[in-house]
Structure 1
């Protein structure tokens, strides 16, 4: 079954779909990558590497109840640039221009949307 709901049995289509799904699972396997996707779902014009690092630092600060240092923010920026954004881009979930640091959400498959929504629900309603 393709993402648009059409049945496809060709070996190339099956292999591509499995690769897509594997890439999506890899992309969702890390908390900061899920947070990036959740944040980008709520902004209209995309974001920048610097802004994403600030947002992730804010998330960490909220969870730890401590101020995140500038060094930690720089660490997040490096991890975003070298690891997280390329993984998300390889999965086709966002586009990342490493030259100017811009990040934009791409079309998100329903399964990824559901996973992000489930996580949001479990974080806002611990009894869910």
Structure 2
């Protein structure tokens, strides 16, 4: 089975892309996975990336990790998976990225505007 990037154009509507990229964690997830050469990341690596790249809040590091992990499991990964952008395997705790050109293009526009 080939798990390499299968970039498509038009897979997602503009409305879907805007909805997916509305939250900073989903933008960070797509950025992280798009930059990885294997198109695959462990759940723990994703949590660490989001904690380290996100704003520092009043919570302890352990609390931030827990908050990010819960958000990933119950919100962000399911939304991205439902849109066909990624696949989360709970058994192996790995995330596989399925690229979408429209999503990446809009993300680049958002990142360049900052």
TM-score, normalised via structure 2 length: 0.78
- Displacement after TM superposition at 1:4 (Å): 5.5
SS in 1 for 2:67: helix
| Alpha-carbon distance between aligned partners in 2 of 1:66 and 1:30, rounded to the nearest angstrom | 20
Question: Cα RMSD over matched residues?
Answer: 2.4
Partner of 1:34: 27
Q: Deviations over 1:26-68 (max 9, x none)?
A: 32221100110000011122111111110000012xx449896
Q: Which 4+ runs in 1 deviate beyond 3 A?
A: 22-25, 63-68
Check conservation: 2:9, 2:102, Cα contact below 8 A.
no
SS in 2 for 1:78: helix
Check conservation: 2:42, 2:93, Cα contact below 8 A.
yes
Partner of 2:113: 122
Check conservation: 1:96, 1:104, Cα contact below 8 A.
yes
- Rg larger in structure: 1
Distance 1:72 1:113, change over 3 A: same
Q: Which runs of 5+ in 1 are unaligned?
A: 6-16, 124-128
Q: How many residues align?
A: 105
